[in-house]
Structures are given as C-alpha cells and as structure tokens.
C-alpha cells in the first residue's frame, strides 16, 4: 500500500566535507544511506531514518546533520503530528503501534517540583571529600528488633545483599539487548559492587560468572528458569509488571530467537517467546505468596525474593499485600519506565508516575508498621542523581537505572528498540550490529556513570549535614514542593516550600 507518511527526519549532507568514505552507508542498519557508484553520489532515503544519530557521530568529516523534518501540516493543537502519523500507520497496517524506550509524553515530573534541603548555620554541612560518606545499602528484609549480642537475631532469616551504592541496573533481557550490552552491565555492576538484572530472558552461559551480581527474574514465561539459574544469583525477582506496559505480557518474535537466545531461554530457535500477561500460578496475593515461598524453598532461603510491579492506581494496597506475602524486596516501576517493545498506547497511557506511587507505598508500609519487612526499590525514568536522591528521601532504598544505563552505553533514545535493529549495538542481536558495542568500553562508561552519580549523591548528603544515605531514607522533611497542589503534596507527604 502506498504510504502517505512523511519522513520524520531530514538528512543534510555537506558535499564539501563528504569524502565518500561510505561509513554512513555501512553504519546504518536501517539502510538509510545509499551509494550510487556510477554517479559517485550518496543518497539518503530519509523515510527510513530513525534519528539515532549513529551516522552523524561516526562521520569522520562531520558532513552529516539529521534534523526533525521541518515540513509541518497546518498547526493543530488537537491533531498533533504524532496523532496524524499514528492514524496513517494504522490505516496502512491494521496493527497495534509498537514502540521502545520510555514514555516520551510531557507527563508532569514531580522530581522537577521537589527541592532538597541543605544545612545552614544551625547544623554543619559535611565535606564528602574529607569525610567518609556512606552509600552502602543492604537489600532484603530487616528484623523487627535487633540486639547485637543476640545470636538468634544475627542468624535470622533476613538474608540481605550488600550494594555499594543505591543504584541498580534495571531488568533488560538478553534477546531484547545484545549479549555485549548485558555483559557490559554485568561487568560494571560487578566491578562497582552493585547488581544488574537479567530480565526474564535467562542468564547467557557466557555470563554465569557474574551470577553473584545478578538479580535473576522469574516471569510469566519462565524462560531459562531452573535450579542453577535461581541459585546462581544475588536476588530472585518475580516480575509481575513493568512500568512501560502494566497489565500486558511480552512477545519476543521468532525472528529474534536466534541460536544463543534460544539456548539462554531454553526454547527452540525461531519460535515466538510469549510471556503471558499474568503468571498463571498467580491470581491472588495468596498465590503470589505461594510462588515467593516456592522460590525460597528452591533457593533454600539464601536469596532475598523481590517482586516487581508497575505503578498502578492501587499500588500501595498491592504493595502491602506483596510484603505480607513474603517479599523481601519490592520494586515499583513508574509510567516513565523503559521497554524493548510495548504497544505505544499502553506505554503512554497506563500507570502512574513513580514519585506518587513510591510515596504512597512507603507511607502505607510505615502506617502498617511493616516497612522494615522489605526493601523498596523505585524504577522508571531516573535521569540524574537529583532524581535518585529525591526518590530516596521519598522512601526508596535504591533505584533501578535502565534508560540512563543505555544512554551511558551510547543509546540516543530513538525508540526503535522493537525493530531489533540498533545501530549502537545495544538493543539488537544482529551480529554485525551487536559487535559495535565493546563490553570493556561500555562497562567503563557505566562504571563512570555509577561513580559520577554516587559522588553527586555524597555531595548533596554532605550539604544536608548527614554522612549516610540511611539518614536520608524516607526523610521527607528534606524535601519541599513548589508548584504542586494540595493533594499532590499530601500524597507525596511533603510540605510546600517556605512551610
């Protein structure tokens, strides 16, 4: 069918600079650039361009510029360019519109309406460059009481996992991301003393040595889940939902189930890997408890069991059920959480912002006196250390970084993850593309990110006059809201600025 879709991007080539090296032709997995040898000319099929800027970055003479297509239909505040485009795409295909990465709509970011406190006069601030500053965090259930001399307390069933900074890498499964990308995450996590998350696609055999830095997921597809997988881990995570697609499962299409992916997921090559929307052994909190304890039994109570849900309207009530069901760690993933593939409608419209869900969950667990029963991890679009530190003040023990980690590796958030083509070698399993990501270099970039954000967190802690992240955790008095309505301040549990 003839497409009426205009190109999203235009490509400008500076002919004076172009040396016909054809790097752009080779680098674009979407085959945007074409070389005509007869004419010695380079053409750009702009309708194929996704705006990932790989060619722009690689071009040795900086001859290329990619810009959003400036041709605009008649301005219309209701029928935006995106709406027109989506209707045309659906008229051409009759299908559900897929997308990748996190929500790109201008959802109110509460982080940008919360401001942090600092010490002035009445209590001294601390210089983190001169004094020790503690970011070490323990994930898992904490005992109700603690007597240092009591052997029973020490040997309680609260097995905890130590991380050196409250930053974890989010679940990204092999099959969605490349082996190289997963190895980069594993290496960086292991070097820095934190954890990466296998997602639900299993742990590739090349990475079994990183098991002690891995959070391994048990999701509805149960891919790659066996005794070894569960026990070669730091934490086992039951995935109920994901912020980018609450309430639905996942389809890894057969063409992406190549030999290595098939081996890791333990399914035949080329078959669709379907993750049903619910876990079919979990239809209630009681059933969740059954799986939590099944996993505890299978791992002989040596691993904290985490449960991850998407931030939805009743997150607080569900979270208390999860904790009472026996979860040692709960993860709330907000509406800005990323994905390798999700229907755009769901990514953009289902769920609630993490800030509100996190505050509601933390408050609820405190009210019920069970906050110590589980660690609380927030996820979904953390862009900077400032977002992280505000989340910790709202009550999080740690945060998951997904998109930020991908960006550290080179991702430009072009949102085409679902195509299986990623010019940066991250979200692809085409060997010629995946090999572009050097795990040693990418791991270094990830470690640098962890280091930089950790330093910034220490800086802010010092400014507040505290020397341990523990002192900030759930300390909402360190936050003040600006430009928020009464109900928003109430849900967040923070005062307005000046109050």
Partner 1 sequence: MLPEINSQLPILNPQPPTGEVAQVDARGLDYRELNRRVDDLLASGAGEIEIRGVHGQRYIASRIRRPVNFRIHGTPGNDLAAFSDGVRLEVFGDAQDGVGNTMNSGEIIVHGRAGDIVGMGMRGGRIFIRDEVGYRTAIHMKEYREQRPVIVIGVMGQDFLGEYMAGGVVVILNLPPRNPKSFSRPPAFIGTGIHGGKIFFRGKLEPYQTGKEVGFDCPDEKEKELLNGIIRDYSNYFSQNLDHVIPDDFLKLYPKNLRPYGRLYAY
Give φ, ψ of 306 to 5 degrees.
-105, 150
Cα gap 217→237, rounded to integer Å: 5
Residue pair 137/397 in contact (Cβ under 8 Å)? The answer is yes
* Contact flag: residue 486 with partner 1 (CB under 8 A): no
Which residues touch 301 (CB under 8 Å, ≥6 apart)? 157, 159
The candidate with the shortest Cα–Cα distance to 447, out of 248, 164, 241, 211, is: 164
Any alpha helices (H) in 266-373, and if so which ranges? 285-298, 315-324, 344-349, 354-367
* Contact flag: residue 303 with partner 1 (CB under 8 A): yes
Site string for partner 1, 70-99 (x = CB under 8 A): -------------------xx-xxxxxxx-
Site string for partner 1, 389-418 (x = CB under 8 A): -----------------------------x
Cα gap 305→148, rounded to integer Å: 25
Cα gap 231→249, rounded to integer Å: 25
* Contact flag: residue 302 with partner 1 (CB under 8 A): yes
Q: Which of residues 419-458 bind partner 1 (CB under 8 A)?
A: 419
With CB under 8 A as the contact rule, which of the stretches 167-175, 265-273, 453-461, 471-479 interacts with partner 1? Answer: 265-273
DSSP 8-state class, residue 154: H
* Contact flag: residue 300 with partner 1 (CB under 8 A): yes
Nearer to partner 1, 110 or 418 (CB): 418
Cα gap 496→485, rounded to integer Å: 9
The candidate with the shortest Cα–Cα distance to 163, out of 139, 134, 142, is: 139
Residue pair 446/188 in contact (Cβ under 8 Å)? The answer is yes
Pairing label, strands 33-36, 41-44: antiparallel
Cα gap 378→399, rounded to integer Å: 5
With CB under 8 A as the contact rule, which of the stretches 65-73, 287-295, 352-360, 384-392 interacts with partner 1? Answer: 287-295
* CA 295 remoteness from chain centre: 24
* Contact flag: residue 221 with partner 1 (CB under 8 A): yes
Q: Nearest distance from residue 340's CB to partner 1, in Å?
A: 13
With CB under 8 A as the contact rule, which of the stretches 248-256, 349-357, 363-371, 398-406 interacts with partner 1? Answer: 248-256
> Among residues 165, 184, 220, 454, which is the contact residue for partner 1, using CB under 8 A?
220
Half-sphere exposure of 438 (CA within 13 A, CB side): 4
Q: Nearest distance from residue 470's CB to partner 1, in Å?
A: 13
Nearer to partner 1, 129 or 301 (CB): 301
> Among residues 212, 313, 349, 435, which is the contact residue for partner 1, using CB under 8 A?
212
Which residues touch 227 (CB under 8 Å, ≥6 apart)? 298
Q: Which of residues 127-166 bind partner 1 (CB under 8 A)?
A: 138, 140, 154, 158-162
Q: Nearest distance from residue 451's CB to partner 1, in Å?
A: 20
3-state secondary structure of 399: strand
* Contact flag: residue 278 with partner 1 (CB under 8 A): no
Nearer to partner 1, 24 or 225 (CB): 225
With CB under 8 A as the contact rule, which of the stretches 22-30, 299-307, 363-371, 431-439 interacts with partner 1? Answer: 299-307
Cα gap 296→307, rounded to integer Å: 13
Q: Nearest distance from residue 391's CB to partner 1, in Å?
A: 23
Q: Nearest distance from residue 109's CB to partner 1, in Å?
A: 29
Alpha-carbon Rg for the chain, nearest whole angstrom, is 24
Q: How many CB atoms lie within 10 A of CB 361?
A: 29
Q: Which of residues 162-201 bind partner 1 (CB under 8 A)?
A: 162
* Contact flag: residue 234 with partner 1 (CB under 8 A): yes
* Contact flag: residue 256 with partner 1 (CB under 8 A): no
Q: Which of residues 35-74 bind partner 1 (CB under 8 A)?
A: none
With CB under 8 A as the contact rule, which of the stretches 296-304, 322-330, 345-353, 434-442 interacts with partner 1? Answer: 296-304
Residue pair 198/173 in contact (Cβ under 8 Å)? The answer is yes
Q: How many CB atoms lie within 10 A of CB 349?
A: 11
> Among residues 25, 34, 290, 497, which is the contact residue for partner 1, using CB under 8 A?
290
Q: Work out the end-to-end distance of the chain between its first and last CA atoms, rounded to an integer number of angstroms.
A: 61
Half-sphere exposure of 324 (CA within 13 A, CB side): 13
Total interface residues for partner 1 by CB under 8 A: 56
Q: Nearest distance from residue 23's CB to partner 1, in Å?
A: 26
With CB under 8 A as the contact rule, which of the stretches 276-284, 309-317, 424-432, 471-479 interacts with partner 1? Answer: 276-284
3-state secondary structure of 441: helix
* Contact flag: residue 259 with partner 1 (CB under 8 A): no
With CB under 8 A as the contact rule, which of the stretches 12-20, 168-176, 224-232, 345-353 interacts with partner 1? Answer: 224-232
Element (H, E) at 496: strand 495-496
Residues of this chain that interact with partner 1 (CB under 8 A) are: 89-90, 92-98, 138, 140, 154, 158-162, 212-213, 220-222, 225-227, 230-234, 251, 253-254, 266-268, 270-272, 274, 276, 280-281, 290, 293-295, 297-300, 302-303, 343, 418-419
């Amino acid at each position: 069918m003839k497409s009426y879709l205009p190109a999203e991007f235009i490509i400008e080539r500076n002919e004076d600079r172009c040396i016909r090296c054809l790097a752009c032709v080779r680098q674009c997995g979407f085959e945007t650039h074409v070389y005509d040898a007869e004419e010695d000319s380079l053409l750009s099929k702009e309708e194929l361009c996704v705006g990932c800027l790989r060619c722009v970055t690689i071009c040795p003479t900086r001859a290329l510029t990619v810009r959003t297509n400036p041709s605009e239909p008649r301005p219309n505040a209701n029928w935006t360019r995106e709406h027109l485009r989506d209707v045309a795409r659906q008229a051409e295909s009759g299908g559900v519109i897929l997308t990748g990465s996190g929500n790109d709509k201008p959802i109110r970011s509460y982080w940008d309406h919360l401001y942090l406190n600092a010490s002035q006069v009445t209590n001294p601030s601390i210089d983190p460059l001169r004094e020790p500053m503690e970011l070490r965090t323990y994930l898992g259930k904490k005992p109700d009481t603690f007597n240092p001399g009591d052997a029973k307390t020490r040997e309680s069933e609260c097995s905890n996992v130590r991380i050196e900074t409250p930053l974890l890498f989010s679940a990204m499964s092999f099959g969605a991301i490349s082996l190289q990308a997963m190895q980069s995450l594993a290496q960086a996590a292991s070097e820095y003393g934190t954890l990466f998350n296998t997602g639900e696609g299993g742990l590739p055999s090349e990475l079994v040595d990183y098991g002690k830095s891995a959070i391994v997921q048990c999701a509805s597809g149960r891919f790659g889940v066996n005794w070894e997988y569960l026990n070669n881990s730091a934490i086992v995570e039951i995935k109920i939902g994901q912020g980018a697609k609450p309430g639905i499962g996942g389809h890894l299409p057969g063409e992406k189930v190549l030999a290595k992916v098939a081996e890791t997921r333990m399914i035949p090559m080329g078959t669709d890997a379907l993750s049903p929307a619910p876990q079919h052994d979990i239809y209630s909190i009681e059933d969740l408890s059954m799986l939590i304890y099944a996993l505890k039994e299978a791992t002989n109570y040596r691993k904290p069991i985490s449960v991850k849900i998407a931030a939805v309207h009743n997150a607080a009530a569900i979270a208390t059920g999860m904790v009472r069901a026996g979860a040692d760690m709960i993860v709330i993933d907000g509406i800005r959480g990323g994905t390798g593939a999700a229907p755009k409608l769901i990514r953009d419209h289902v769920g609630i912002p993490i800030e509100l869900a996190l505050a509601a969950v933390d408050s609820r667990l405190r009210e019920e006196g069970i906050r110590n029963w589980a660690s609380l991890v927030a996820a979904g679009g953390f862009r900077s250390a400032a977002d992280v530190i505000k989340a910790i003040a709202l009550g999080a023990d740690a945060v998951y970084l997904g998109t930020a980690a991908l960006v550290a590796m080179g991702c430009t958030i072009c949102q085409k993850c679902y195509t299986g083509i990623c010019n940066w070698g991250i979200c692809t399993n085409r060997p010629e593309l995946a090999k572009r990501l050097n795990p040693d270099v990418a791991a270094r970039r990830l470690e640098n990110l962890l280091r930089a954000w950790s330093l910034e967190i220490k800086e802010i802690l010092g400014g507040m006059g505290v020397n341990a992240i523990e002192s900030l955790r759930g300390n909402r008095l360190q936050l003040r809201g600006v430009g928020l309505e009464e109900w928003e301040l109430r849900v967040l549990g923070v005062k307005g600025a000046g109050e």
